[in-house]
Amino acid sequence: MKRWFFLLLALLPLTVAAQGPQDSVARAAVRWDTCSLRPGMVAVRAQLELFGAPQAISMVRYDARRFRTRIVQPDSLSLTSAVAAREGAAAAINAGYFNVRKFVPSTFVRVAGRTIAATEERELYRVNGVVTLRGRKVRILPYVPSDDVRLARRYRDALACGPLLLVEGREVSYADRKGGFWGRHPRSLIGVTKRGDVVMVVVDGRFPEEAAGMTIGELAFVARQLGLHAALNLDGGGSSTLWCDDAGIINHPSDNKRFDSAGERRVTNCIVAE
């Protein structure tokens, strides 16, 4: 196995400092339970008390040199788990926002050299980042819709989403935005470390006794504590799903309102590692 993998195991359990004046002296020791283990990839999850509330976090981390990352755009709304299994993936996470009336992507998506969708104006309050794929390299960059033509020339695969959580290791602040989308919900993110490893994270939510969910600010804090160099929020809520091939769904999707693995929502696209 690669040296980074042993370093990752050495970092577990991870200690995360609580955020906010009311929790300034609180600390939560995270005990990660391994769900899946293979050369170059690990899937783990943990339940802990963080930000003054119960949290459930699931994560897949892999060496991008050993796994190919792809955006998959099915012909119709599909379960992340079903798409991933059909594609022969090792791991997968739900990806972009979609128009719930038309069931099509609502942000810029480009797959295999073909532009699938452009970013709708109504998404601009939260969509300011893009994940781009070239060969096996995954990059997360700032984004505005005027970038679409340039991105289409440069990348065969790209997906806009947001908001950006980390840029060059620094948290992006949204302190002036409260409630609604910015409040506590189930969350999904994709991030990269400085050396280029890819991390997929899902934070469960909407289960007051088991998993409260996180605000965008709290999610950015967790992304930085996980050692990410850049990170992008993906579609959340009932869409949030993290899957790996030998363990299935490892988080607790919320669409069935039960704290189990059966509440998965159909989505328009997902990101897979294979």
Condensed to tens digits (0 to 9), the pLDDT of residues 56-106 reads 999 999 999 999 999 999 999 999 999 999 999 999 999 999 998 999 999
Give the residue, 98 or 21, on which the prediction is more confident: 98
pLDDT for residue 18 is more than 60:
no
Structural domain of residue 48, as residue ranges? 3-273
Report which secondary-structure segment, H or E, holds 265: none
Spatial separation of the C-alpha atoms in residues 252 and 203, rounded to whole Å: 9
pLDDT for residue 187 is more than 60:
yes
Q: What is the pLDDT of residue 29?
A: 57
Spatial separation of the C-alpha atoms in residues 130 and 139, rounded to whole Å: 8
Q: To the nearest whole percent, how much of the chain has pLDDT over 90?
A: 88
Q: What is the pLDDT of residue 31?
A: 80
143 neighbors 128 (Cβ within 8 angstroms): yes
pLDDT tens for each residue of 31-40: 889 999 999 9
Give the residue, 24 or 162, on which the prediction is more confident: 162
Q: Average of pLDDT values for 153-168?
A: 98
- Indicate if the alpha-carbon torsion angle 249, 228, 26, 14 is positive or negative: positive
Return the closest-CA partner of residue 69 out of 189, 197, 166, 195.
197
Q: Which residues contact 206 (CB under 8 A, 6 or more apart)?
A: 185, 186, 213, 254, 257
**Structure confidence at residue 1 as a pLDDT band (50, 70, 90):** very low
Q: Fill in the amino acid letter for 254.
A: S
pLDDT for residue 25 is more than 70:
no
Strand partners, 78: 267
pLDDT for residue 15 is more than 50:
no
Instruction: Work out the mean pLDDT of the chain and round it to a whole number.
Output: 90
pLDDT for residue 19 is more than 90:
no
pLDDT for residue 21 is more than 80:
no
Pairing mode, if any, of strands 266-267 and 198-203? unpaired
Residue the block writes with tokens 């289409």: 152
Q: Average of pLDDT values for 240-258?
A: 97
Q: What is the pTM of this model?
A: 0.91
> Per the structure, how many domains does the chain have?
1
Q: Average of pLDDT values for 251-262?
A: 97
